[in-house]
Amino acid sequence: MPDDALHRALGQCGTVLLPYLRGTHSSWLEMCRDLGAYVAVPDCGMYADQADDPRAVEKYATGDPLAAARALIHLHEQGRIPYAGDREQQLAEIRRRHREVYREVLSRQGKEA
């Protein structure tokens, strides 16, 4: 599925369930939040700590489908919380930090950036 079709589909969802057994797909959480969707996440990994707003993520016991269903219901009943982050600012900070690291490495090698 092309990214734009995926984003349109997820943007229409009020809540999204991440059914993983291991905490390895945090980019899905970020994508869902960028699109304004709530996310029900397993209690494995650090999903809940990665959201822009803790109210927009509900943890459930990994591998427990009833707990996952309860998490989805709880999120649905809250009403929407729009994405609260600033991706432009985040990107600028990442670029700034990369430049710092690059300059530091070059300075250790006796070179200029």
Which tens digits make up the pLDDT trace of 83-112?
Answer: 877 888 888 998 999 999 999 999 988 876
**Residue 21 banded pLDDT, cuts 50, 70, 90:** confident
Superfamily covering domain 3-82: Glycogen Phosphorylase B; (3.40.50.2000)
Picking from 6-20, 24-38, 88-102, which range would have the lowest pLDDT averaged per residue?
24-38
Integer Cα distance of 21 and 43 in angstroms = 9
Burial class, 5, CB count within 10 angstroms (exposed 0-12 / middle 13-18 / buried 19+): exposed
pLDDT of residue 72: 95
- Tell whether the torsion through CA atoms of 51, 14, 26 and 72 is positive or negative: positive
pTM for this prediction:
0.73
Has residue 37 got a pLDDT over 70? Answer: yes
Has residue 30 got a pLDDT over 80? Answer: yes
Bridge partners (DSSP) listed for residue 42: 60
